[in-house]
Chain A
Amino acid sequence: MVKHIRIALGALMLSVIGLLALGGLSPAQAADTAVIGVLTTPGGAPVEGVKITVTNEEGFTESDTSDATGAFRVPLPSGGTYTIEVDTTTFPDGIALSREDDASRTLLVLSGEKKLLVPLSEGGESAVSASGDSTLDQIIQLFFDGILYGLLIALGAVGLNLVFGTTGLTNFSHGELLTLGAFTALALNEAGINIIIAAPIAIVFAAFAYGWGQNKILWRPLRRRKTGLIAAMIVSIGLAIVLRYTIALVFGSGPRTYQQFAGQVGISIGPFNTTPKALILGALAAVALGITVLWLQRSRIGKATRAVSDNPALASATGIDVERVIAVVWIVGAGLAAFAGIYLGMTQSSIWNMGQRMLLVLFAAVILGGLGTIYGAIVGALVVGVFINMTTLFIPTEMKTVGALFLMIVILLVRPQGLLGRKERVG
C-alpha cells in the first residue's frame, strides 16, 4: 500500500551510509572545497546521469553529472553560500526525489568537502504525493506525521509563548534555543556519550545555561533598565544573529547527525509508516507537554505563572515574585526548546540555521493558538503540524511552509486573538 515513505526512509538511510563510505574512501581530496555525494535508489543501485548544478550570487556556475557509481563531485573555488540544484529532468524513469525541497537548496559551504544528501524514491512522483487508490491511507499517514510534527512544534512554541505571556517579549532568538540544544547534545555525543544519555544532560544544561542564564545576564537587566518592548525585540534579533553564526563558526555549516539512530529501519503500525525513534520521541514530547500542562494547572509556581501571564502588575500586588516566575519560565521554555532541537536533530539533522527555519512555524503556531495564551501554543502547534502535512495533498511539498504562513495571516485577518485568545484589542 503506502510503501513510499518506507522507501524514502530507506533511501535516506542508504545515502547516508553511501556518503559515509565515500567519505572514508576518498580522503585524498579532502583539502579541496567541493560538493560531493552519491545518488542511489532505495535499493542501493547507483543512479547515473543526474545533473547537479552549483551556483552562487557572484555568478559562479559549475555542474557535474553522476557517474556509473552514482557519485558526483562539483569543485568550488572557495567556501561561501551556494545554491545547489538537482536537475530532476535528468532522472531515469521511475526515480524521483523523496523530498521535493531537495531539487534546490542553498547551503553555506566552508572549506573542505561538503556531502550532499539526496534521498531518492522509486516508482512514483514523490514519496508523499503519490496518487491513486491509496488516498485515504495517504490522509491517515499525513495526519499521523502531522501530529508528530505538531508535537515537535509545540515543544518549541510553549517556551516562546510563556516568555511572551510573562514578559511581553517577542523573542526572535527563540529558534536559536532549539539549535543550541541540538548542538549541545551533538557535542556531548561526539565526545563519546550515547545520545540517550547525552540528550537529557543537554536538555538540563540548556534549561539552566541558555534559559536561566540568558534571562539573568541579558533580559532581566534590560527589564530593570525599562527597555521598551520593541527595543528588546530588536535586541533579540541581534542575539539570534550572534548565536546562529557562532554555531556556524564552531560546528561548521553542514548538516550533522547523532552517532546513534541516524538511520533506522521504518516500521508499519496498521496504516501508519514510521520509525521507532519518531514514535518514541513523539511519545516523550507528548509526556513532556502533559507534564508542563499539569504543572501549570496544579503547582503553586505554575498557577503563579498563569497569574503573571494574565496581569503582571496584579500578580505582583498579590505577593507573587514576578521575577522568580519569569526565571522559571525561561528554564522550562529553554528546556523544552532544547528537547525540540534534539527531536529535530534526531529525526532530520542538526544544522546551524535549523532554529531560524523553525522560528516562523513556531510563530504561526503561537499566533494561531493565541499569542500569550498558555495552552494556545500546544493547540496551535498541533493544528499547524497537521495543516502543513495535509496541504502537501494539494500543493507541492516545497511550498508547505508557505501554507502555514498563509494560514497565520488569514487567522490574523479573521480572529487576531487566535483560537484560544480572549477577545481584546490587538490593534
Chain B
Amino acid sequence: MDFGIIFSQTLTQAIGITAIIYCLAAVGLNVQFGYTGLLNFGQVAFVAAGAYAVGVIVLTFDLSLWLAILVGILASTLLALILGIPTLRLRADYLAIVTIAASELLRLLVRSIAFKDTFGGAQGLNGKLGQQFHDLNPLPSDFTSLPVLTWTRQDLWVVIVGWLLVVLFTLLVWGLVRSPWGRVVKGIREDEDAVVSLGKNVFVYKMQALVLGGIIGGFGGIVWAVAKQSVQPDTFQPDFTFFAYTILLLGGAARVFGPIVGAIIFWFLLAGVGELLSQMIQAGYIDFLSATDVGSIRFILMGLGLMLLMIFRPQGIFGDRRELALDAR
C-alpha cells in the first residue's frame, strides 16, 4: 500500500482531462437543466457531436483541426435545433425520454457499418486527431513531469487549455444568468405560463438555452478528441449523461461554480475509491474481489451517490434549495 501513489493518482484524475470533459458537459447541462429547467438526458449526444466533428473533419476528410472545431460548434447547434423543435413543447418527462432516445439513435448511427467509411464503425476514428493543437505546445520539450501530478507534457497542455475553456464558459454563464436573458430563462424554469403571459416567446428562450448548453457540451467532445486522439462510439453511452448529472447535482445545479466543484469532487472520490481498492486488492487485504471488479464497484458507488444526493440533498453541496425547485406536473 503506497498512499503517496494513491494520492497522486487520485489528484491527477480529479483535475485531469476526464474531469474537464465531464465538467464542460455539466456546465452545458447547468444552462439547460439548472437555469432553464430542461431535462436534457441526451447531453452525451452533444459531446459526441463535438468529438465526431473533429474525428470526421481531421481524419476522414483530412482537413484542418481549426475548421473541425468550427464544424463541431455548428454540429452541436444543428443537433440542438433538431432535438429542440419536436421536444421543447413537451412536458419534462417526454423531453427526457426523447433526448436519451436521440442520443442512443445517434450512437447507433455512427457505429453502424453503413456509415463506416465516414464514422469508422464500432472502432471509431483513431489517429492524430489533435496534432495541430499539440504542435502549439509551449511547454519545454525536455519537460518530464510536475511534482505529484503525473501528466505527460502533452496531457498538461490539454489540461491547461481545458481548464481555461471551463473558466471561459463559466464566466459566460455567470454573465448570462445575471442578464435579462438569465432572468427570463429562470422564470421559465419556475413558471412557464407566467413568462408566457408576460409576452415572452418561451420556445425561443428554451431553444437558445438548449443550443448554448449543447455547444458547451460539444466543446467537451472536442477536448476529448484532441486529448485522447481517438473517438469511439461506445464511449458515448447514456451513462455519460448521468455522470454529468451527478457532477452537476453534487456541486449544486443553478450555481455558476457547481459543475467545477462537482467535477473535481466527483473524480476525486471516484478515482480515490478505485485506486484505494486496486491497491488493497494488490496488497492482498481484500481477497473476495478481483482487480476487474473495481470498475463495477465504482459504478455502484456512483449510482448510490446519485440516489442519496437526490433524496437527501437535491440542492447539492453549495446549492440553494430555494433556487432550484425540482418538480413537474
B290: contacting residue among A111, A234, A363, CB under 8 A? A111
Which residues of A sit under 8 angstroms from B299, Cβ to Cβ?
Answer: 241, 244-245
Q: A44 at the A/B interface (Cβ < 8 Å)?
A: no
- Count chain A residues whose beta carbon lies closer than 8 angstroms to a beta carbon of B: 62
Q: A229 at the A/B interface (Cβ < 8 Å)?
A: yes
Contact A234 B249 (CB under 8 A): yes
Q: A274 at the A/B interface (Cβ < 8 Å)?
A: no
- Count chain B residues whose beta carbon lies closer than 8 angstroms to a beta carbon of A: 61
Contact B291 A111 (CB under 8 A): yes
Which residues of B sit under 8 angstroms from A229, Cβ to Cβ?
Answer: 92-93, 327-329
Identify the closest chain B residue to A237 (Cβ). Answer: B242
Known: A110-B292, A241-B302, A241-B306. A81 touches B94 (CB 8 A): no
A230: contacting residue among B246, B300, B328, CB under 8 A? B328
Known: A363-B97, A409-B102. A80 touches B295 (CB 8 A): yes
B234: contacting residue among A83, A360, A408, CB under 8 A? A83
CA distance A399 to B249 in the complex (A): 34
Contact B112 A399 (CB under 8 A): yes
Known: A57-B232, A367-B94, A426-B94. A238 touches B126 (CB 8 A): no
In chain A, positions 35-71 with a C-beta closer than 8 Å to chain B are 53, 55, 57, 59
Q: B326 at the A/B interface (Cβ < 8 Å)?
A: yes
Which residues of A sit under 8 angstroms from B165, Cβ to Cβ?
Answer: none
Flag the segment in B103-111, B150-158, B214-222 that touches A. B103-111
Known: A245-B299, A426-B90. A235 touches B113 (CB 8 A): no
CA distance A219 to B229 in the complex (A): 44
Contact A234 B310 (CB under 8 A): yes
CA distance A412 to B94 in the complex (A): 9
Contact B296 A249 (CB under 8 A): yes
Q: A227 at the A/B interface (Cβ < 8 Å)?
A: yes
CA distance A426 to B94 in the complex (A): 8
Identify the closest chain B residue to A229 (Cβ). Answer: B328
Report which residue of B90, B94, B310 has the largest number of chain A beta carbons within 10 angstroms of its beta carbon.
B310
Which residues of B sit under 8 angstroms from A231, Cβ to Cβ?
Answer: 310-311, 314, 326-327
Contact B303 A79 (CB under 8 A): no
Q: A190 at the A/B interface (Cβ < 8 Å)?
A: no
Which residues of B sit under 8 angstroms from A416, Cβ to Cβ?
Answer: 90, 94
Name 20 interchain pairs, CB-CB below 8 A, sorted by A.
A55-B232, A57-B228, A79-B292, A103-B122, A105-B122, A170-B97, A225-B311, A228-B327, A229-B328, A231-B310, A231-B314, A238-B246, A243-B303, A244-B299, A245-B297, A246-B296, A248-B296, A364-B101, A401-B104, A402-B112
On A, residues with C-beta under 8 Å from B are 53, 55, 57, 59, 78-81, 83, 85, 88, 100, 103-106, 108, 110-111, 168, 170, 222, 225, 227-231, 233-235, 237-246, 248-249, 360, 363-364, 367, 371, 396, 398-399, 401-402, 405-406, 408-409, 412-413, 416, 426-427
